[in-house]
A and B are shown apart, each in its own frame.
Chain A
Amino acid sequence: MARLFFEARSIVLPGDIIAEGDDVEPGGIFVERHGKRIIALITGLVDIEEQDGKYIVSIIPLEGAYIPRPGDIVIGLVKDIGITHWEVDIASPYKGILTVQEVLDKPFNPATDSLKRYLDVGDYIVAKVLAFDRARDPLLTIKGEGLGRISEGSIVEIKPSRVPRVIGKKGSMVNMLMEETGCSILVGQNGRIWIRCPSRDLEEILVLSLRKIEAEAHTTGLTERVRSFIREERSRRGV
């Protein structure tokens, strides 16, 4: 019979025994089985799921670096230009590689053409992770809808571990932010957020709200608190 030592959504620390028993399974890479015990490997919130009589225990990390996964939408900063590829900083221990085939639809001749014409150092891009297996650097693409160079708006950088909270359940948080401020928001999985706002004041309010979410990510009832924060700020600034 399973014994759970922590309630769902409570904070665990490395070394904590989350549960004991044969009908508990570790889920994800942040929990490990030691004999009958399931121990936590990272600071985070416990997530317990019941699935045909078994409990699956996993942790939503509160801290930690961004590890790319294929399919993730990330916001990258072009750092260097090679002969047929760009090196892109994606706020991760691993740098992104964007090959010319993933940018241009036509063949590219390095003898007559320069990559600089398409993307230069210092450009921000919205990209998708194509492939990543930890043995080699992640491959990116900007072919696809909504991907490509960013030419307007601002970038806000937060801790990658706070991204799920900024998005919220089924996008509840990000939708609320867009409704209340009138800005358009794109959240990269790597913790970079692209925002386009109708005015400077609204942009400032949005940035403050994002910082608030980042600082209070582990608390409950955050969406409503942020909503009232935005309304307060708007009436105070008269926008």
Chain B
Amino acid sequence: MYKAMAHTSESKPSLIRWEERDGVKVAIRHDGRTPDQLRPIRMEVGVLSNADGSALVEYGGTRVIAAVYGPREAVPRHVALPDRAVIRCRYHMAPFSTEERKTPAPTRREIELSKVIREALEAVVLTELFPRTTIDVYMEVLQSDGGTRTAALTAASLALADAGIAMRDLVAAVAVGKVDGVIVLDIDEIEDNYAEADMPVAMAPNLNRVLLLQLNGVMTHEEFTKAMELAVKGINTIYKLQKEALRKKYVSVG
């Protein structure tokens, strides 16, 4: 991220290669993906035995673990609300998650992401069922390769479902972007560094609601519409994988 700033436009590498496939010109990305292709995704639920619910999510090289505790008695007591549960979120990048060591202290960026993730989760969790309690969600980025906030949100909603917390829908998220003028799905670190635009999107697919939408960079109206369509497509795929991962926990034995 910081390296990108040091580069001038001359040293910007070409991230899109145009190839003929079946007589059509298609954009091929630096890792061989087509613009509408997700990275390989892996999800596992119930990976931590001490937490009430947990999940591990990988989007290519991005790896995030989420743990949920609660609903539990609010400590300190004054944070509790009389009519609903409080959700507390911590998005954090491990010092070893990036190429250069990141200081373990929470940065401005991490504090902001914790807030937007919390707001996305508050929209689906039925907090009114457990007044005066807290639900703690911890997300730890183990390895960062772009799209960590979306992977964190996907993992957090899996962990909440695993903890048996009532929610109206799961949350699935993915980042879209504009790289060398092409709208691409699930952008990774290198693409993000040189992208003209980066747009993380989170949705509750069954409710058909957008819960998080951020945009870094510039897109035209048509580009935005196309990016959004691509994001919805990616989110629906991720949503199916989430349900599969949750079901898998219960199909064995018997």
Contacts and interface: CB of A to CB of B under 8 A. Distances in A.
Interface of A: 11, 13-17, 29-30, 32, 34, 39, 41-43, 61-65, 67, 93-95, 134-135, 161, 215-216, 218-221
Interface residues of B, number: 34
A13 B164 contact: no
A220 B254 contact: yes
Nearest to A222: B254
B253 A216 contact: yes
Given A13-B161, A15-B206, A29-B129, A41 B167 contact: yes
A15 B170 contact: yes
B7 interface: no
B102 interface: no
A48 B205 CA distance: 25
A14 B168 CA distance: 6
A155 B228 CA distance: 54
A42 B164 contact: yes
A39 B129 CA distance: 16
Contacts, number: 90
Nearest to B205: A15
A41 B126 contact: yes
Interface of B: 52-53, 70-73, 82, 124, 126, 129-133, 161-170, 204-207, 243, 246-247, 250, 253-254
Given A29-B129, A93-B71, A135-B131, A14 B250 contact: no
Contact of A135 (B72, B82, B250): B82
Contacts of A65: 52, 70-72, 130, 164
Contacts of A221: 254
A64 B163 CA distance: 6
Given A93-B133, A134-B131, A219-B253, 16 more contacts: A14-B168, A14-B169, A15-B167, A16-B243, A34-B207, A41-B126, A41-B168, A42-B161, A42-B164, A63-B53, A64-B163, A93-B73, A93-B132, A94-B132, A94-B133, A221-B254
Contacts of A218: 250
18 contacts: A14-B169, A16-B206, A29-B129, A32-B168, A39-B169, A42-B164, A43-B161, A43-B162, A61-B164, A63-B53, A63-B163, A64-B164, A64-B165, A64-B166, A65-B164, A93-B72, A218-B250, A219-B253
A173 to B, nearest CB: 16
A15 B73 contact: no
B170 A14 contact: yes
Q: Which 3 residue pairs across A and B have the least CB separation, nearest first?
A: A63-B164, A64-B164, A15-B169
A62 B161 CA distance: 10
For A135, A161, A221, the residue with the greatest tally of chain B CB atoms inside 10 Å of its CB is: A135
B173 to A, nearest CB: 14
Contacts of B161: 13-14, 42-43
Contact of A15 (B72, B130, B207): B207
A39 B166 contact: no
Contacts of B165: 42, 64
Contacts of A11: 247, 250
Nearest to A45: B250
A175 to B, nearest CB: 22
A41 B247 contact: no
Nearest to B85: A93
Contacts of B168: 14-15, 32, 39, 41
A14 B206 CA distance: 10
